[in-house]
Amino acid sequence: MADRLVSNFKQLASEVNLQDRDFQIAIASIIFNPTFWNIAARTEYNTHLLTKLAFNKPKFGCYLLALTIFSLGLFRDYLYEKALKNQVSSVLLADPVFRYLGIASFLFGNVLVLSSMWKLGITGTYLGDYFGILMEDRVTSFPFNIDNNPMYNGSTLCFLGTGLYYGKPAGIFASLVVYLMYQVALKFEEPFTAKIYAKREAEREQKKKKSL
C-alpha cells in the first residue's frame, strides 16, 4: 500500500510541467499577491500612505487597497486557469470521484470565502485594522466557529477544487503553494494584528484611569 502511494505521488509529481511559462507566471502571481498586500498594509500602518492618497480618509484608503487586492486576485485566478490548460491531465485523477471532490472542494471553499466576507465586511476583510478601522468584537459565528482562517483556507480549497475537477496534478501543486504562502502571510499578519488590538485596549485602559 505504501509503495503504491509513493509510486502514485512520484507519477503525479512527474506530470507537473514546471518549465511551462504560463505555469511559472501563475505561481509567481500566487507568491506575489500575499507578499504585496502585507507590504502595502504595513506601509499604510507606518506611513498612512494610502490614507493620504485617499484624501486623508482611512476608509477610502482601505477601499482602494481592497479594490487592488480583489483585482489582483481575479488576475491571479485567470493566470491559474490559463496555466492549467497547458498541463497534463493525469490518468490517476481520471476517476469521476475526483471530479466530484473538485466540485465539492470548490463550492465549500467559496462558502468559506463569501461567508467570511459577509461577516467581516470590506474593511474587516481587507486589512482595515492597518488603517485604524478596528472591529469592536471578534467574530466567532460561522464560518469562524469551524475555521480560524476561512478566507485563506477557502481560497486554497477553490484552487484545489479546480485542479481536481480538471484532473491536473499541476493544480494540486499550485494549491500547495497557495497554502504555504498563506501560512507564511499568517505568520506576519496574526501577531501584528494582535499588536494593533492590544494597543487599542491599552489606550482604552489609559483613558479609563484618567477619567477616574
For residue 204, what pLDDT band results from cuts at 50, 70 and 90?
confident
Rounded-to-integer distance, Cα 79 and Cα 143, Å: 28
Which band of pLDDT confidence, cut at 50, 70 and 90, is reported for residue 187? very high
Q: Amino acid identity of 182?
A: Y
Q: How far is CA 142 from CA 80, 159, 161, 202, in A?
A: 29, 22, 21, 29
- Is the Cβ–Cβ distance between 58 and 132 less than 8 Å? yes
18-20-21 Cα angle (round to 5): 120
CA angle 207, 129, 135 (to 5 degrees): 70
> Is 205 marked as binding a ligand?
no
Residue 3 has pLDDT above 90, yes or no: no
What confidence category does residue 210 fall into, taking pLDDT thresholds of 50, 70 and 90?
Answer: confident
Q: Is 121 annotated as a binding residue?
A: no
Quote the distance between the C-alpha of residue 80 and its chain's center.
Answer: 14
29-34 average pLDDT score: 98
Residue 198: pLDDT band by 50, 70, 90 thresholds?
very high
SS3 call for 70 = helix
Do 122 and 204 meet the contact criterion of CB atoms below 8 Å apart?
A: no
pLDDT at 211 over 90: no
Where is average pLDDT lowest: 58-62, 117-121, 176-180, 203-207? Answer: 203-207
Given a cut of 90, whether residue 131 has pLDDT beyond it is yes
Query: Could you tell me the CA-to-CA distances from 44 to 11, 48, 83, 123, 185 in Å, in that order?
Result: 46, 4, 33, 14, 17
pLDDT category of residue 207 using cuts at 50, 70 and 90: confident
With contact defined as beta carbons under 8 Å apart, do 169 and 90 qualify?
A: yes
Query: In which residue are the cell numbers 474587516 written?
Result: 124
Check the annotation: does 108 bind a ligand.
yes
pLDDT at residue 35, rounded to an integer? 98
Q: Is the pTM of this model over 0.75?
A: yes
In 24-107, beta strands by DSSP E: none
